[in-house]
């Protein structure tokens, strides 16, 4: 009998894009499909964890046995994450959170006024959800925080720097944005001892490998 790798563990995951409203019918989003985050939710559940998935708008079905909380904006995602984070053993931030939201969003649909002038959007920086969770970690040591980074170049160099900057033990790099919407990916894991490449495979296979890498590190940590 092989006990499941994450039996008795609670795992919180963000996935998908965020949607930042311009007015009630228009908004700004990005090309994240949510596939990688949903695959990790499924793999963590298969490994015996109790999984909460905070998801931006996606077209994906909820993985079996996973509790899913739907949100649209980055601020809604932050609220949902902060409400759910107590008692979690692992936090995996996979969502492609919009860096900016529209600060002067309109309550009513913006109309063309015939003048030929386009509306002027103003932007405000969104909160960094992963950094907010990582900041709570410094008190209790939990949850174990895993971040993602999509870089278009110099992944190895940027990945290590980003892990340090985010103040997290494990960062997963992928070469984006080519991977968006695809069923396959290749990832690089960055931790305090360097980096490990997980070669091209389906997102579900990579998710299962990542879950086992996380479980290994949790075990190491609880032995310390
Ligand atoms: O800094 P960058 O956006 O590249 O970092 C990506 C990582 O940070 C991902 O894990 C993503 O989910 C998380 N993130 C976040 N909130 C933001 C921006 C990024 O949680 N506002």
Q: What is the pLDDT of residues 101-110, one digit of tens each?
A: 999 999 999 9
Helix (H) or strand (E) holding 193: none
pLDDT(175) > 80? no
User: Is it the case that residue 177 has pLDDT exceeding 70?
Assistant: no
Mean pLDDT of 169-181: 81
What local confidence, expressed as pLDDT, does residue 52 receive? 98
Within a domain: 160: yes
Based on the residue annotation, tell me whether 30 is a catalytic residue of this protein. yes
Higher pLDDT, 182 or 89: 89
- Write b or e for each residue in 175-194: b if 16 or more Cβ atoms lie within 10 A of its Cβ, otherwise e: ebeebbeeeebebbbbbeee
The CA 115 to ligand 1 mean position distance, Å, reads 39
The Cα 68–Cα 56 span in angstroms is 10
The DSSP string of 27-67 is EE--S--SHHHHHHHHHHHHTT-EEEEEE-S-SPPPPTT-E
Domain that holds residue 58: 10-103+121-223
Q: Does residue 203 sit within a domain?
A: yes
Quote the ligand 1 centre to 127 CA distance (angstroms). Answer: 9
- Residue 112 domain flag: no
Any idea which residue has 């998908």 for tokens? Answer: 16
Record the pTM.
0.95
**For the segment 153-168, what is each residue's pLDDT rounded down to a tens digit?**
788 889 999 999 999 9
Distances (CA, A) of 78 to 66, 128, 174: 19, 8, 23
Q: What per-residue confidence (pLDDT) applies to 108?
A: 97
Q: What is the whole-number distance in angstroms between the Cα of residue 3 and the centre of ligand 1?
A: 33
Strands (E) located in 41-143 = 50-55, 67-70, 90-93, 100-102, 123-125
Question: Which of 86, 100, 111 is CA-nearest to residue 25?
Answer: 111
In a domain, 125, yes or no: yes
Instruction: Check pocket membership of 133 for ligand 1, CB cut-off 6 A.
Output: no
Which is more confidently placed, 105 or 176? 105
Q: Which atom of ligand 1 is nearest to the CA of 171?
A: 10
129 CB less than 6 Å from ligand 1? Answer: yes
Cα separation, 37 vs 203, in Å, equals 9
Q: Whose CA is closest to atom 4 on ligand 1?
A: 149
- CATH number of 207's domain: 3.40.50.10300
User: Does the pLDDT at position 2 exceed 70?
Assistant: no
Closest residue by CA, ligand 1 atom 21? 128
Testing ligand 1's pocket by substitution, the residue of 16, 85, 132, 147 carrying the most ligand atoms inside 8 A of its CB is 147
Residue 19, sorted as left (phi over 0), alpha (psi -120 to 50) or beta, turns out to be beta
Q: List binding-site positions for CTP.
A: 99, 109, 127-130, 148, 162, 166
Asked, for residue 173, whether it belongs to a domain, the answer is: yes
Residue 5 lies in a domain: no
Q: Is 110 part of a structural domain of the chain? A: no
> Looking at the 3D structure of the chain, how many domains does it have?
1
List the residue whose alpha carbon is closest to atom 13 of ligand 1: 130
The answer as to whether 62 is a domain residue is yes
Q: Which two tokens stand for residue 50?
A: 């109790």
What is the pLDDT at residue 180? 74
Whether residue 126 has its Cβ less than 6 Å from ligand 1: yes
Q: Determine whether the shortest distance from the Cβ of 172 to ligand 1 is under 6 A.
A: no
Residue 182: band (very low, low, confident or very high) from pLDDT cuts 50, 70, 90: confident
Q: How far is the CA of 133 from the centre of ligand 1 (A)?
A: 11
């Amino acid at each position: 009998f092989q006990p499941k790798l994450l039996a008795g563990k609670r795992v919180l995951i963000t996935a998908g894009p965020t949607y930042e409203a311009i007015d009630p019918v228009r908004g700004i989003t990005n090309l994240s499909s949510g596939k990688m985050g949903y695959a990790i939710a499924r793999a963590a559940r298969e490994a015996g964890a109790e999984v909460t998935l905070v998801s931006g708008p996606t077209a994906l079905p909820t993985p079996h046995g996973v509790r899913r909380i739907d949100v649209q904006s980055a601020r809604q995602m932050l609220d949902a994450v902060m409400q759910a984070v107590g008692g979690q053993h692992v936090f995996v931030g996979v969502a492609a959170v919009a860096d900016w939201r529209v600060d002067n969003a309109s309550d009513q649909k913006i109309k063309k006024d015939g003048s030929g002038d386009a509306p002027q959007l103003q932007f405000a920086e969104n909160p960094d959800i992963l950094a907010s969770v990582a900041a709570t970690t410094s008190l209790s040591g939990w949850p174990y925080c895993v971040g993602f980074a999509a870089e278009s170049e110099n992944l190895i160099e940027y990945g290590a720097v980003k892990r340090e900057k985010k103040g997290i033990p494990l960062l997963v790099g992928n070469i984006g944005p080519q991977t968006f919407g695809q069923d396959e990916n290749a990832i690089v894991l960055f931790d305090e001892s360097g980096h490990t490449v997980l070669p091209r495979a389906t997102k579900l296979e990579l998710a299962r490998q990542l879950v086992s890498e996380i479980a290994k590190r949790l075990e190491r940590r609880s032995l310390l």
